[in-house]
Amino acid sequence: MTEVRRTAFVLGAGFSVEEQYPLVRTMKEQVIHFLEAERHSAYWTFMKPGNGGYGRGQFYAGLEIIDPDNDLQFEELLVALRKRLKQNIAIDPCHITEKVLRIGAARLLWAIHNSIWEVATSYKNFAGWLGMKGLPHGLISFNWDLQAELLLTQANVPWSYSITSGIPVIKPHGSITWSGHLREGLVPEYAYWQSIAVGSNLSFDSAEPLSNPFKQGINMNLNYMIFPGDPDLPDADADVALLWRDVAAVIKNAECVAFIGYSLPAYDSYAARFFKEAVQAKKIVAINPAFDHLQRFKALFGDAVELRQEKFKECPYGRSGPSSG
């Protein structure tokens, strides 16, 4: 697998876990614990006893409706919330539950990001692969976090959110730095908002691309992050269509597609269909420590995929740079 090829790296939660970012199976507990510890004014009112006429507050009331046995994982919880909210129940605390979980997920990821002074050695090694001259690698990240952007920035490897310059970092599910204010017809006074790509209504702070544009807790509803259960299909949303167009371009330009820490989640059937078609005639590698996740790749791609039951830091891309093999 260490043979040098133009590679499209598809990143899931397992890619970022070495920096203490949560996996799906632990995210619900970590987000709720963070909310209860931080108590930010953007959401804390909804978690106070008696809020909305509910004994423990609206947030917990909605949580108990959706997850009475406390056995749903984060993605399952969000899918269930979206299904319930489509019923348009007039008075439903689940609206608040979903809102608070969205805020909490973003703020937790920012707290982790802000704690990273220098990326771990495995990410420095990976940056060595990405920065190789003459090999236009690309990143497709399903993570809302900034681990990919941070490792490239610290390694002085140019990157962008489009396919037009540097290492492309394409994020089909959005980012904790992206704003959708243009989608709402809003014009900000800040001069450094820039569209992530030509024609997109999604924006980032071009002056400080790794800073939190919502750090004051204002306009957090404009943060563009697609959650499980959201309507995120390209035929329903022009901005999503542009993102997936760039995903296709990155894969088309690659000889190899390497899935790192990505689980092919069952709720994202569009992604599975897309990859099955897009990676034909490419070398395919799936790197994941979870056997059941690897079996999903086996079921989708058959014998065409090379399965490696490893954590990111154990695989060749994380273990050493390209010069040392």
Q: Give the span between the Cα atoms of 176 and 112, in whole angstroms.
A: 12
Sequential DSSP letters for 198-243: TT---EEESSSTTS-TTTTS-SGGGEEEPPTTS---GGG-HHHHHH
Q: Give the span between the Cα atoms of 25 and 140, in whole angstroms.
A: 22
Is 165 inside any structural domain?
Answer: yes
Q: Give the span between the Cα atoms of 219 and 227, in whole angstroms.
A: 18
What's the pLDDT at 1? 45
Number of domains comprising the chain: 2
My answer on whether 169 and 255 are in the same domain is: yes
Number of H helices, E strands in the chain: 11, 11
Domain harbouring 148, CATH code: 3.40.50.1220
What kind and span of H or E run contains 279? none
Distances from the Cα of 324 to the Cαs of 2, 293, 316, in angstroms?
A: 10, 29, 10
CA 154 to chain centre: 20
My answer on whether 158 and 278 are in the same domain is: yes
Query: Which residue has tokens 């990273």?
Result: 116
My answer on whether 82 and 143 are in the same domain is: no
Is 104 inside any structural domain?
Answer: yes
Task: Note down pLDDT in tens along the chain; length 325 residues.
Answer: 455 689 999 999 999 999 999 998 899 999 999 999 999 999 999 999 999 999 999 999 999 999 999 999 998 999 999 999 999 888 899 999 999 999 999 999 999 999 999 999 999 999 999 988 767 799 999 999 999 999 999 999 999 999 999 999 999 999 999 999 999 999 888 899 999 999 999 999 999 999 999 988 788 889 999 988 787 778 889 999 999 999 999 999 999 999 999 999 988 889 999 999 999 999 999 999 999 999 999 999 999 999 999 999 999 999 988 864 4
- The tokens describing 74, both together, are 């984060």
What pTM was estimated for this model as a whole?
A: 0.94
Of 91, 34, 28, the closest CA to residue 62 belongs to 91
My answer on whether 233 and 110 are in the same domain is: no
What's the pLDDT at 202? 97
Q: Could you list the residue range(s) of the whole structural domain that residue 308 is in? A: 7-20+118-173+226-319
Query: Which residue has tokens 């959706």?
Result: 66
Q: Give the span between the Cα atoms of 306 and 298, in whole angstroms.
A: 9
Is 67 inside any structural domain?
Answer: yes
Is 57 inside any structural domain?
Answer: yes
What's the pLDDT at 4? 63
For Cα atoms 258, 27, 125, give the angle at the middle one, nearest 5 degrees.
35
**Strands 174-179 and 256-260, how do they pair?**
unpaired
